[in-house]
Structure 1
């Protein structure tokens, strides 16, 4: 039997710290802090909700992050 995979690490980072930042700056900062995937979405987007370790999601309105969450 194969061993269970070990989940990848993700940055110990507070998503609320990105709220209010300009979208491009927030994405650059997230990548500098170690996030492997950064997803920017307009409000009300239809998205899949599977959890992906290392992904940070931004809800962006008028080029400003209004909501941020992991996965």
Structure 2
């Protein structure tokens, strides 16, 4: 049987640091800091709730990040 893969490490920054930034700037910064997946969502979007290592989610309201979370 093959061993389970080791998940990639996530950048050690806080999602709260992105709140209040313009969405494009927040995504650029997140990618610079090493986030392989960045997902921008409108408020109230229906999404799956599985946790994915290395994914940073943004809720974007009027072009500005209003909420950010890992997974």
- For normalisation by structure 1, the TM-score amounts to 0.96
2:3 aligns with 3
Q: Secondary structure at the match of 1:57?
A: strand
1:17 is displaced (CA, Å) by: 0.2
- For normalisation by structure 2, the TM-score amounts to 0.96
Within-5 A mapping of 1:1-71: 1-71=1-71
1:6 is displaced (CA, Å) by: 0.9
Aligned CA-pair RMSD: 0.7
Instruction: Structure 1: state its 5+ residue gaps.
Output: none
Instruction: Structure 2: state its 5+ residue gaps.
Output: none
Alignment size in residue pairs: 71
Once superposed, which parts of structure 1, at least 4 consecutive aligned residues long, lie more than 4 Å away? none
